[in-house]
Chains A and B, each alone.
Chain A
Amino acid sequence: MNTPLPATMIRSRYTPLLYLCAFVLIGMAGVALFAPWIAPHDPNLVDLTQKLHGPSSAYPLGTDQLGRCLLSRLIYGARISLGCAVLIFIASLAIGLFVGTLAGYRDGWVDQLLMRLCDGVMAFPSLILVLGLVGIFGPGLKQVIIALMLVQWVYYARMFRGMVMTLKTEAFIAAARVNGSSSWKIIRTHILPNILPPLLVIGTLEMGWAIMDISAMSFLGLGVQSPTAEWGAMIHEGKSYIRTNPELMIYPGLAIMLVIISFNLVGEQLAERFGVSKTMK
């Protein structure tokens, strides 16, 4: 990993594409937040007389096999995808930050133990591990979120440990010790402020991954259970109609793609700007 400190301010050229992606993400976040006001219909309202309709003024994107408004379901789906991604990011980040900082700052057996644990988790492709955990916990959104958190924190822990170990040898840390600052104060005032900027980058990229993972689990029928609207689950439900009504899969598929591409492009630009390596997985 490139040294995260100090954040080298490389001015990169901001392409219109970047603005477009940022716009998409902000728009999606807005849609997720204000879903009840934006959605034209109740996303779970079944109306079998209206099933599999094409776009109309009442149903802008048409209806699904149970006559539910596709647009409304997409809008509510953004809520679950983005909301869960944020939740997973914050939770696994908090655990990883705690463990990684501890391991990096207190080397010796604490570090050894924590890092062997990380090695163990990282030995498996993360999706396989999540699948295994969901297999143990049973299907459901909550279980998927917990499984993803249990797997994700390891990558943060690794990253923060490396940063803290590099920082620890800096002269200003030695000076802080000489000046009587406690370990806790050193971590709080000297270490955390210097490792947080790259988070912006990692966070953006990580959200993309989380959304993909949640959708993948739901698609496999392990995550969100019907009738809750979620993009992966919508693709799952729509797949029986792939020949007659491919739009049931295409719309949620496009939504997933758009969000993940946006997160990745924005993350990459930020990575370049802050000089952070973007290979966490």
Chain B
Amino acid sequence: MSLLQIDQVSHVYKRRFQPAKTVLHDVSLTLEAGRCLGLLGSSGAGKSTLGRLLLGLERPTTGTIWFNGVDRHATQRPFQGDVQVVFQDSFAAVNPKLTAADIIAEPLDNFIRLKGEARQQRLVTLIEQVGLKATDLTKYPAQFSGGQLQRIAIARAIAAEPRLIVLDEAVSSLDMVNKRLILALLADLKRLHGLTYVFITHDIKAAEQLCDSFAILEQGRLVGHYPSLAAFDAATDPAVERMRQAKLAVHPRQRTIRKTQPNKG
């Protein structure tokens, strides 16, 4: 049985005073445990929407997402900690008023409920696993760089031992050096924890470094699915070609630069 099975999923955004907008059309995909799927596509293709559906932040309008054999949206509480997320903008993805320890502890406290010494020990282990120091636990987001904060977000994502992590442009805002370091970290953590990734990106290069299967979305439709890196590299169909050509033209949304102050001192 596959870990993840996306079965003919369509999604329509309905908003007040605006016409309904169909952003996903009949998308079907499967993903085995321990693999990494690169979800490619230009801006507005519906990648993040698919990610939000996997996370349980949205319900599919039609179709079903099977996760580990159960319908992801059948329950009222889809958030069980087994699907996690790392967003593009690490500054927006963490509450500026919380310390790194509070940020990483959120899933721990909700799903695992460790107490006292064991909890503290777990926080130290987590922050060291993402390449930061135990002393960083007491710092506020404003005291970290974008790359360091992305590591905090990754520590939060792995804290409750999830099965699947949705990486939505998780390295797209980072500089070349950090991008390489974080990609290597993600590969290590995947091996260490037996994780499965859905890696959403515009960046073919980054996807090729991390992923072992690839899917291309165009205007909400799945236009290509390649089960291996070799198949993806060898592919000559127009969807892949368009992706390869577009890679210089499309840029991820710029990260907004925030200056925040920690709430003490």
Within 8 A of B (CB), among A212-244: none
* Contact A177–B79 (Cβ < 8 Å): yes
CB of B145 within 8 A of chain A? no
A172 adjacent to B92 (CB under 8 Å): yes
With contact pairs A6-B260, A7-B261 given, residues A180 and B94 touching in the complex (Cβ less than 8 Å): no
Q: Are A175 and B97 in contact (CB under 8 A)?
A: no
B224 within 8 A of A: no
Which applies to chain B's interface (DSSP): helix, strand, loop or mixed? loop
Question: Which segment of B29-37, B59-67, B82-90, B116-124 sits at the interface?
Answer: B82-90
Q: Using Cβ atoms and an 8 Å threshold, which residues of chain B touch A175?
A: 85, 87, 93-94, 153, 156
Query: In this complex, what residue of A is CB-closest to B105?
Result: A179
Partner of B261, one of A9, A171, A190, A193: A9
Provide the bound-state CA to CA distance between A178 and B86, in Å: 11
Q: Does A194 contact B (CB under 8 A)?
A: yes
Chain A residues with CB under 8 Å of B55's CB are 174, 178
Tell me if A166 is interfacial: C-beta within 8 Å of chain B. no
Stretch at the interface among B2-10, B106-114, B181-189, B226-234: B106-114
Contact with A along B139-165 (1 / 0, CB 8 A): 000000000000001001000100000
Map CB proximity to B onto A141-176 as digits: 1 under 8 Å, 0 otherwise.
Answer: 000000000000000000000000000001110111
Distance (whole angstroms) from the CB of B204 to the closest CB of chain A: 24
Contact between B57 and A178, CB atoms less than 8 A apart: yes
How many Å from the CB of A213 to the closest CB on chain B?
Answer: 33
Summarize A's interface: helix, strand, loop or mixed: helix
In the complex the two chains form, is B95's CB within 8 Å of A178's CB? no
Type the 1/0 row for A5-29, where 1 means its CB is closer than 8 Å to any CB of B.
1111100000000000000000000
A190 near B107 (CB under 8 angstroms)? no
Tell me whether B259 and A180 are in contact (CB under 8 A).
no
Per-residue interface assignment for chain B, residues 40 to 83, with 1 indicating a CB less than 8 Å from any chain A CB and 0 otherwise: 00000000000010011100000000000000000000011101
* In contact, A170 and B107 (Cβ under 8 angstroms): no
- Complex Cα distance A274/B94, Å? 21
A117 to chain B, nearest CB (A): 19
The reply to whether B57 and A181 form a contact with Cβ atoms under 8 Å apart is no
A172-B56 contact in complex given A178-B85, A179-B79, A180-B79, C-beta closer than 8 Å = no
Interface bits A258-275 vs B (CB < 8 Å: 1, else 0): 000000000000000000
Q: Which residues of B contact A189 (CB under 8 A)?
A: 95, 98
Q: Give A179's nearest chain B residue, CB to CB.
A: B107
Provide the bound-state CA to CA distance between A3 and B98, in Å.
19
Tell me the complex Cα distance, A193–B97, Å. 7
**Are A176 and B96 in contact, CB atoms less than 8 angstroms apart?**
no
